[in-house]
Amino acid sequence: MYMSGLVPQLYLSAAQSTQHCLSGGMDESVIYSFSIMGLQLGEQEEFEEAFRYEDLARDLSAKYPNTFGATRGMNGIVWCNMHSRSHPRQIVDYSLKSIQCGKNCGDLYNAGLSYGPLMWNLQVQGADLTKI
Protein backbone atom coordinates (compact mmCIF):
# COMPACT_ATOMS: atom_id res chain seq x y z
CA MET A 1 0.00 0.00 0.00
CA TYR A 2 2.80 2.39 0.92
CA MET A 3 4.67 1.98 -2.35
CA SER A 4 1.50 2.31 -4.40
CA GLY A 5 0.56 5.63 -2.80
CA LEU A 6 -2.19 4.28 -0.56
CA VAL A 7 -0.56 5.59 2.60
CA PRO A 8 -3.79 6.68 4.37
CA GLN A 9 -5.26 3.21 3.74
CA LEU A 10 -2.08 1.61 5.10
CA TYR A 11 -2.29 3.65 8.28
CA LEU A 12 -6.00 2.87 8.66
CA SER A 13 -5.33 -0.83 8.20
CA ALA A 14 -2.55 -0.72 10.82
CA ALA A 15 -4.78 1.12 13.29
CA GLN A 16 -7.63 -1.36 12.74
CA SER A 17 -5.29 -4.32 13.18
CA THR A 18 -3.88 -2.80 16.37
CA GLN A 19 -7.39 -2.18 17.71
CA HIS A 20 -8.44 -5.78 16.95
CA CYS A 21 -5.31 -7.02 18.67
CA LEU A 22 -5.99 -5.01 21.79
CA SER A 23 -9.62 -6.06 21.98
CA GLY A 24 -9.38 -9.70 21.01
CA GLY A 25 -5.94 -11.02 21.71
CA MET A 26 -2.65 -10.94 19.92
CA ASP A 27 -0.67 -13.25 17.74
CA GLU A 28 2.33 -12.84 15.49
CA SER A 29 0.29 -11.68 12.51
CA VAL A 30 -0.10 -8.13 13.89
CA ILE A 31 3.61 -7.37 14.34
CA TYR A 32 3.78 -5.58 10.99
CA SER A 33 0.92 -3.29 12.02
CA PHE A 34 2.93 -2.10 15.00
CA SER A 35 5.85 -1.13 12.76
CA ILE A 36 3.44 0.84 10.55
CA MET A 37 1.93 2.56 13.59
CA GLY A 38 5.51 3.59 14.46
CA LEU A 39 5.98 4.96 10.95
CA GLN A 40 2.81 7.03 11.13
CA LEU A 41 3.65 8.41 14.57
CA GLY A 42 7.17 9.26 13.43
CA GLU A 43 5.82 11.18 10.45
CA GLN A 44 3.67 13.12 12.90
CA GLU A 45 6.86 13.82 14.91
CA GLU A 46 5.54 11.88 17.90
CA PHE A 47 8.89 10.13 18.23
CA GLU A 48 8.64 8.72 21.76
CA GLU A 49 5.37 7.00 20.90
CA ALA A 50 6.81 5.87 17.54
CA PHE A 51 9.79 4.33 19.33
CA ARG A 52 7.46 2.43 21.66
CA TYR A 53 5.73 0.82 18.68
CA GLU A 54 9.08 -0.01 17.09
CA ASP A 55 10.23 -1.60 20.36
CA LEU A 56 6.97 -3.54 20.63
CA ALA A 57 7.37 -4.86 17.07
CA ARG A 58 10.99 -5.85 17.81
CA ASP A 59 10.02 -7.59 21.05
CA LEU A 60 7.18 -9.49 19.39
CA SER A 61 9.41 -10.53 16.48
CA ALA A 62 11.81 -11.98 19.04
CA LYS A 63 8.95 -13.67 20.91
CA TYR A 64 7.60 -15.31 17.72
CA PRO A 65 10.85 -16.19 15.88
CA ASN A 66 10.94 -17.65 12.40
CA THR A 67 7.30 -16.97 11.60
CA PHE A 68 5.69 -15.11 8.75
CA GLY A 69 4.53 -12.44 11.21
CA ALA A 70 8.02 -11.93 12.59
CA THR A 71 9.57 -11.74 9.12
CA ARG A 72 6.96 -9.26 7.96
CA GLY A 73 7.34 -7.19 11.14
CA MET A 74 11.14 -7.18 10.90
CA ASN A 75 10.89 -6.11 7.27
CA GLY A 76 8.64 -3.23 8.35
CA ILE A 77 11.12 -2.27 11.05
CA VAL A 78 14.12 -2.09 8.70
CA TRP A 79 12.18 -0.15 6.07
CA CYS A 80 10.09 2.16 8.25
CA ASN A 81 11.44 2.53 11.76
CA MET A 82 15.13 1.91 12.31
CA HIS A 83 16.49 4.85 10.35
CA SER A 84 15.18 7.27 12.99
CA ARG A 85 17.50 6.18 15.80
CA SER A 86 19.84 3.45 14.60
CA HIS A 87 23.33 3.42 13.16
CA PRO A 88 23.67 1.92 9.65
CA ARG A 89 25.58 -1.05 11.12
CA GLN A 90 22.59 -1.87 13.35
CA ILE A 91 20.29 -1.71 10.33
CA VAL A 92 22.59 -4.05 8.38
CA ASP A 93 22.61 -6.53 11.27
CA TYR A 94 18.83 -6.41 11.70
CA SER A 95 18.27 -6.70 7.92
CA LEU A 96 20.41 -9.84 7.88
CA LYS A 97 18.43 -11.20 10.83
CA SER A 98 15.17 -10.44 9.00
CA ILE A 99 16.41 -12.18 5.85
CA GLN A 100 17.42 -15.27 7.85
CA CYS A 101 14.07 -15.28 9.67
CA GLY A 102 12.27 -15.30 6.32
CA LYS A 103 14.46 -18.10 5.00
CA ASN A 104 13.82 -20.13 8.15
CA CYS A 105 10.02 -19.91 7.89
CA GLY A 106 9.73 -19.83 4.09
CA ASP A 107 8.63 -16.19 3.75
CA LEU A 108 11.05 -15.41 0.94
CA TYR A 109 9.00 -12.43 -0.24
CA ASN A 110 9.51 -10.37 2.94
CA ALA A 111 13.02 -11.75 3.35
CA GLY A 112 13.79 -10.47 -0.14
CA LEU A 113 12.36 -7.05 0.62
CA SER A 114 14.82 -6.67 3.50
CA TYR A 115 17.67 -6.65 0.98
CA GLY A 116 16.75 -3.02 0.11
CA PRO A 117 17.69 -1.53 3.49
CA LEU A 118 20.59 -3.98 3.72
CA MET A 119 22.15 -2.81 0.45
CA TRP A 120 21.46 0.87 1.16
CA ASN A 121 23.09 0.77 4.57
CA LEU A 122 26.04 -1.26 3.33
CA GLN A 123 26.56 1.45 0.72
CA VAL A 124 26.26 4.17 3.38
CA GLN A 125 29.04 2.39 5.27
CA GLY A 126 31.23 2.44 2.17
CA ALA A 127 30.93 -1.22 1.20
CA ASP A 128 31.95 -2.18 -2.30
CA LEU A 129 28.63 -3.44 -3.67
CA THR A 130 30.30 -5.10 -6.65
CA LYS A 131 31.73 -7.64 -4.16
CA ILE A 132 28.40 -8.33 -2.49
Checking if the pLDDT of 11 tops 90, the result is: no
pLDDT band of residue 16 (cuts 50, 70, 90) is confident
pTM listed for this prediction: 0.82
Give 1's Cβ-side CA count (13 Å radius).
Answer: 13
Q: What is the 3-state secondary structure (H, E, C) of the chain?
A: CCCCCCHHHHHHHHHHHHHHHHHHCCCHHHHHHHHHHHHHHHHCCCHHHHHHHHHHHHHHHHHCCCCHHHHHHHHHHHHHHHHHCCCHHHHHHHHHHHHHHHHHHCCHHHHHHCHHHHHHHHHHCCCCHHHC
CA–CA distance, 52 with 9 (Å, rounded to integer): 22
pLDDT digits over 66-79, tens only?
999 999 899 999 99
Which sequence spans correspond to the domains of the chain? Answer: 7-131
Q: Are 1 and 9 in contact (CB under 8 A)?
A: yes
